[in-house]
Amino acid sequence: MTISKPPGAVRSKTGFWPNNRATIIGVAVLALIIVIVPFTASSSLMNIAVFSMIFALPAIGLSLLMGLAGQVSLGQAAFFAIGAYTHAILLQKFEMPGVVAAVGGVVAAMLAALLVGLPMLRLRGHYLALATLGLGFIVMIAVREWEFTGRTTGIYGYGRPEVFGVPIDNNGLFFWFVAPFVLIGLVLALNLTRSRAGRALSAVNDSELAAESLGVNTYALRVKVFTLSAGFAGLGGVFYAYQVQIVSPQVAEFHVSVELLLMVVIGGLGSVWGAIAGAFIVELLSEGLRDLIPAIIPGATGEVQLIGYGIVLILVILLLPGGLYQAARTSWAAIRRGIRPRSRAADAAAPAVPDGTADTGAGEVPTRAFGGLAGGTSAAADAALLAADLPAVSTPVAAGEPILEVRGLTKRYGGVVAVDDVSFTVPAGRIMGLIGPNGAGKTTCFNMITGAITPTAGTVSFLGEEIQGRKPHVGAERGLTRTFQNLQVFSSTDVVGNVYMGRYRKGRAGILRGMLGLQGREQYTHEAVARDILDSMRLGEFAQLAAGDLPFGRQRMMEVCRALAAEPALLLLDEPMAGLSGQEREMLAGLLRRLRDAGLTIVLVEHDVAQVMALADSVAVLDDGVLIAHGDPETVRNDPAVIVAYLGTDAEEAEAELKELEEQA
Ligand code: ATP
């Protein structure tokens, strides 16, 4: 297929600086503010500004973890404290140079995160939040009780930092000392959010199963971002130790984690900019609450401040769920609308979701046909689709050679045997249909082949390698891709972003290259391929539409595009025709035939028996978890066991229904 330069695609320009003009302007404005603030701010505001910068670092880390990767952490203070303590201990007890002690602080925080992250990140959702909360308490108690960390007194008596012999001994200088690290951290984090790894992280957040099935090693990615997030926290701790000149157990207290959480929530989950704004607001708030709470509750100190944070957190969640970032985006959009009233012409040009194809839910058929959606006459458009370039497929084995071998595959759920001792071989370059009545075990079989569930017994051999019980990314990396009966759309991105994720296994850039903006032409090339696939499937005009806004039938087609973007060797389609109109089904069937002719191997679970019989080279029939027939469509169609099991227990009635089916076919 040809790779054309798409309009609005990511430019091929690469490097450390983000290539989005708004981001560059934003970073420049922030840099300017940083230069000016020490000349203009009062001493109390300067104090707030310094701590905002210090806490912005762990907040950026937490924002990546929570906003991008969707992992809630209530223990970010633990890594902040590890960074601060390590730095102070290396300076005071081991008299190491400042730079070495600082690097030590960051590395210690990251190592601790790696160690606890490896077992902890196997947990999900609330369990992970609770585990990180527990970690926070462990660190707090450990530093309070351990002689080496100075118990309740802490570590003190180390010097202030010096830069080229100049002591950083006032707030203005300290602000300039920290701020470049925050700016660099901001740019690194922004680069990450747009990179292959960052987009994979947010895909994991949307649908872990779909991301895994495209080759994303979700566990490894989560561990890495957790470690990275701790690195940001550790660096914040290093600066904190320098600024406060004493590191005591206070630094590991629960309220520090709450403050950091508040910064991210106020700023807006998922926004790195928001984390910096949130840090400033929470520091202002904390200063205000320090005066306000004792005035309202005489004698109240310390932990009582948490009440104030709690109230603010509830108010933000209720009134501003998207935080400042969302509010700023909405206001900016309103301002732009005010400046540039939307013209009728612009309205007409905007890609619209076609009416009559609203999300109908699984199984319902949209009222408008596929052919009418892309403009032009249906017949001409359909012909264009059938003549369009095919996405590339990979053909690692010769046609007819076994590509997938399933032996004795069994899945038991307590007393229910969902799949019972099923064996079959899929030859390369063929379409195999897997059919059976509701509850026959088709999806369970699919899930065991792709690694979504572990078989109770049996083997799955793909390209000669046994992959049963291994995570879905293992098969996906080798070229086994699937679609889902219940759609798994990455709703936080647009249509082209979904298909781009299909390219994941073809890319190489990891978190580090992503942060440094060193992805080469990789990202541009993969986006171009994603757009070409959408164009060839006549979804090109919806490329920029939020994926969740597509009608159901289009989402299904988008999933097929996403799977094809992976250039699979074996494509497993779980009910791809469900929700498509008759014409759309024909179109998809035509596409699958062309893909098969190009060498792609396809396994198809489908309820539309007529379509499967017409399309497949071989058909396997499951009933009650048992493989009751497997052969060419003609033989299977006339198999009495299939007729009875599939169409009913009354053989005569079954044969009549079968005839009707054949007529339809
Ligand atoms: P359909 O065509 O309706 O999607 P299917 O052929 O894909 O059905 P499966 O979804 O694989 O069938 O289910 C096979 C059997 O296993 C059913 O009886 C189902 O109730 C059972 N089953 C599936 N998943 C589980 C589970 N997690 N726990 C218990 N039973 C399950």
Residue 656: predicted pLDDT: 66
Mean pLDDT, range 362-377, rounded to an integer: 32
Domain ranges of the chain: 22-253, 354-389+492-566, 397-479+568-665
Q: Per residue in 88-113, pLDDT tens?
A: 999 999 999 999 999 999 999 999 99
| CA–CA distance, 530 with 510 (Å, rounded to integer) | 20
Owner of token pair 């520090």: 256
**Nearest-CA neighbor of 502 among 223, 196, 70?**
196
More confident residue, 128 or 407: 407
**Nearest-CA neighbor of 624 among 442, 409, 423, 408?**
442
Q: Is the CB of 486 under 6 A from ligand 1?
A: no
- Atom of ligand 1 at shortest distance to CA of 625? 14
| Tokens linked to 30 | 């922030």
Q: Is the CB of 447 under 6 A from ligand 1?
A: no
Residue 530: predicted pLDDT: 93
Q: What is the 3-state secondary structure (H, E, C) of 550-606?
A: CCHHHHHHHHHHHHHHCCCCEEEEECCCCCCCHHHHHHHHHHHHHHHHCCCEEEEEC
Q: Per residue in 277-303, pLDDT tens?
A: 999 999 988 887 777 777 777 776 666
> How many other CB atoms are there within 10 angstroms of residue 389's CB atom?
11
Distance 658 CA to ligand 1 centre (A): 25
Distance 128 CA to ligand 1 centre (A): 29
- Atom of ligand 1 at shortest distance to CA of 447? 11
| Tokens linked to 335 | 């301002």
| CA–CA distance, 447 with 459 (Å, rounded to integer) | 13
Q: Is the CB of 416 under 6 A from ligand 1?
A: yes
Mean pLDDT, range 203-220, rounded to an integer: 94
Distance from the first to the final alpha carbon of the chain: 33
Residue 196: predicted pLDDT: 93
- Atom of ligand 1 at shortest distance to CA of 485? 4
Q: Per residue in 45-62, pLDDT tens?
A: 999 999 999 999 999 999
Residue 227: predicted pLDDT: 97
Q: Is the CB of 441 under 6 A from ligand 1?
A: yes
3-state secondary structure of 421: strand
Residue 47: predicted pLDDT: 94
* Average per-residue pLDDT for the chain: 86
- 59-73, 353-367, 467-481, 482-496, range with the lowest pLDDT: 353-367
Residue 477: predicted pLDDT: 95
- Atom of ligand 1 at shortest distance to CA of 414? 29
| Tokens linked to 609 | 């028996």
Q: What is the pTM of this model?
A: 0.84
User: How does residue 157 score in pLDDT terms, banded at 50, 70 and 90?
Assistant: very high
Mean pLDDT, range 297-319, rounded to an integer: 77
397-479+568-665 CATH choice from 3.40.190.10, 3.90.420.10, 2.30.29.30, 3.40.50.300: 3.40.50.300
DSSP state of 546: B
Mean pLDDT, range 314-320, rounded to an integer: 84
- What's the length of the chain? 665
| CA–CA distance, 625 with 412 (Å, rounded to integer) | 10
